[in-house]
Structure 1
Amino acid sequence: MSRASLSHHLPGHNSIRHLRQLLLLCLAVIGMGVVGSARAIHLPGNQSLNLTLCDPAAANSPYPHYFHFSIVRAGSFGIYFNNVLHTSNSYDTPVQAAGTQCATPLTLRTSNVPSNSTANKILISSCYVINGVPTCTLLPPPSDYASFVVPIIPTLTLSPSTSPITQTGTRVITAQVASGTSGERFGLIEVTASCQASNGAVVGVSPLSAMTDFAGEAKFTINAQKLVVPLAGGTPAATCTFTARNLAGTNTSVKTINYQGVNVDPTIVISPSTNLTGKISTITATLSSSPAADLSGLYVDVTCTTQLATVAPNPAAAITNINGVATVTLNASGLVNINPTLATVPTANCAFKVRGSPGQHQASIGYRTANACAITTLLPKPAGCGNP
């Protein structure tokens, strides 16, 4: 029996159906899974394609494993495996030892594919050598030969495609590529992805490039880490762009997914909030916002206005911690004076301002001060009060 022979039963596994499902889900093309489809699949013609074929079921199989290509030709079609022209209608990858999932990476190049023709095709089988007899399972199903076609005009769609997105978190995006001339799905088309964020938004995508599988699909994950931004100066936003192109980069299809966030203006409260009396006081300034945002790393500027007294904030520009809290120490002196003019009393007040706040949000605190000469319970009066 030839290596390309087919079998309806594979010893050592539950069933061909089970194996086929596993292979369809996990056969890898340039690191991406080749997924079976009830639809025809197109592949780029007259170009070089890099394939890495993997069968996860082989990991637990006691049998050597390889992949078989069945080739349907028309006209002067040329197909090259690892840059060697292959003239027969079949090709086998090297047999791998039992337990080996993936074949050696393979370069497949085609030539003389005529425009708007689907006559040149391949079909891939996963094969095991069982007691010296090759046994193969067709992938994709026999009705789904993959046709090499030109021109290569990709049409890209994204799912889900709803935008703008306003929530943080991860989102899996399926990029599906179809042939712009036939509407059939296009495998082995490169899709690139990138995200551009502004006004403090943090949004990224991975991978940055992927090839569509045998269902014409490539998977990407967008991770929106930050959309609510304090003092952004504008609306936080991001645009993630997906581009499908042929290998020559001459025909492209572009789709985008947009993110929109919120620019928040934090409010501030301080503690303690009642008038101070001591020379040294520690003030905590707490910022908050709605919706909640990361309020770390923001500046709280402290300015103190005094008359006859002195108050020095340390630091004068405090930075909020991970909880949105800044701590400032106030050093005061001259809170009590001696003046025979009883109405002459020191004053001191400190303002805590959120730097850059459009609403100029701030909180203030004052000091209890006194003129010793006006304190009736203070006897005798200090000499400066004009005592005889």
Structure 2
Amino acid sequence: MTLCTSTLAQWTVNERRYLHQYPELSGEEYQTAAYIRKWLQQWQIELIPCESPSVVGLLRGTDGSKTIALRADIDALPVNEEGDKAYLSKNPGVAHVCGHDGHTAILLAAAKWLAENRGEVRPNVLFLFQSSEEMLPSGAEALVRQGVVDDVDAVFGLHLWQPLVKGKIGISNGSMMASSDDLRIVITGYGGHGSMPHETVDPIFVASQVITAVQGIVSRRINPMEPAVISICRMESGTTYNIIPNTAILYGTIRVQSEKTRQLLVAELKQTIEAICSAWGAKGEVIVDWGTPPVVNDKEMSQYVAGVVADHWGEDVLCYVEPVMGGEDFSYYLERKPGSFIFIGMGGDKSAYPHHHPRFDIDEDVIPTGVELFIQLVKQF
């Protein structure tokens, strides 16, 4: 039986389009939060104290011996949206180009149905409308630190996922997404005239050695069965064409699928970079801004999701996805409680651009699937 009716589906699409027009950056989602609170209060869902601008609601079940948490991220990205759709962002330089507007609307719709049919809801349901998924400090980490999920028995989240073909629901029994850490390498040399490099310690030359060497760490120091990525994405050095500068700064990202590999990779980075810099008379400093841990699904909870999907949509809709190297702060919930993160496939003509692209848009055809999945996960828990 389909619980997300055409009327509820259209309501969800309308809400998503409204949210899409008024995006807010991480940590600044105050209008979005006020909008969410208005609906929760209208549906007589209890508001749970938490740090603003996140919003947490609690619906008490008829049994209440178990509590299930459902999460949506509410923040947008610093992107100028492109395209000609009627619901383009009205906030210049800010846009929902990852799908969080869809996630928020889906969770609102699930809350609406569950509140209006609370006599059919046995467990308590905690609705996590979470700030700051895209930027640090993490909104998920903050809610965990505040103890919001301490009494939760399981936690579930979903992502409308463009790389997965439309019509599929993707899960993993373990590693699902990578950690995401920011890397900064400061190389200090001794500048001088470009025509007399022998009188200098050229930090740009040393940086070129470092850039090559860090890829060797992945290929020669990390188990090839363990996914790992180091990408140097930005370099700052120098002021003009004939002056060797004093410093060069490299910026990059580190992505891995396990905490053990994460720690090993950083240790190898520090040892390798300090040694290379020292060999050329420079000083190398490695600074890691620790970000989100890997997303590792609980096997039992993922199998629960698989059973719900297979029973409701059929085995052919379910697929087991390979881990991806993108990061997600849903990992903080999974470090504390059993749960599962779920991909709702929407790849195709209606969602042709990748996440974070200025022309990205979600395929609204899959919105009812997300709403139905959240409701069924609660009803069958």
Structure 1 length as normaliser, TM-score? Answer: 0.22
Determine which structure has greater relative contact order: mean sequence separation of CA pairs < 8 Å that are 6+ residues apart, divided by chain length.
Answer: 2
Higher strand share: 1
